[in-house]
Amino acid sequence: MSRIAVARGVASVASLAPNFHIPFMVMTAASADEFRLRHADPANPQRIAEWLRMCLQTWRDGQCDGVVTYWLDKRPESEVFPLAQKLFRDFRAE
């Protein structure tokens, strides 16, 4: 425990924890049904992509350790997959 925490009579969780990092991952809904349940309408591909962009920006800003999608349809006819694929590629390249 740190001296400051002891002096104040407060146990700091960070000072008691071993030196390891538990990753904080952001999981965002990528299907219209799941997106609608979490974020309301409209649950269209463009809005899903904007939400994913916001999550990826949060990762880039160091506020989380990674971003994953929940229920991303990867079939050729998917309207969301090409948008998500482009976002992941763009953010990986920068």
Residue 56: count of CB within 10 angstroms of its CB: 22
Q: In this structure, which amino acid lies at residue 73? A: D
Confidence (pTM): 0.76
Q: What is the pLDDT along the chain (94 residues), one digit of tens a residue?
A: 444 444 455 555 555 557 788 999 999 999 999 999 999 999 999 999 999 999 999 999 999 999 999 999 999 999 999 999 999 999 988 7
Residue 5 burial (10 A CB sphere; 0-12, 13-18, 19+): middle
Instruction: Answer whether 49's CB lies under 8 Å from 83's CB.
Output: yes
Question: For position 10, what pLDDT does the model report?
Answer: 53
How far out from the chain centre does Cα 66 lie? 6
| Cα separation of the two ends of the chain | 40
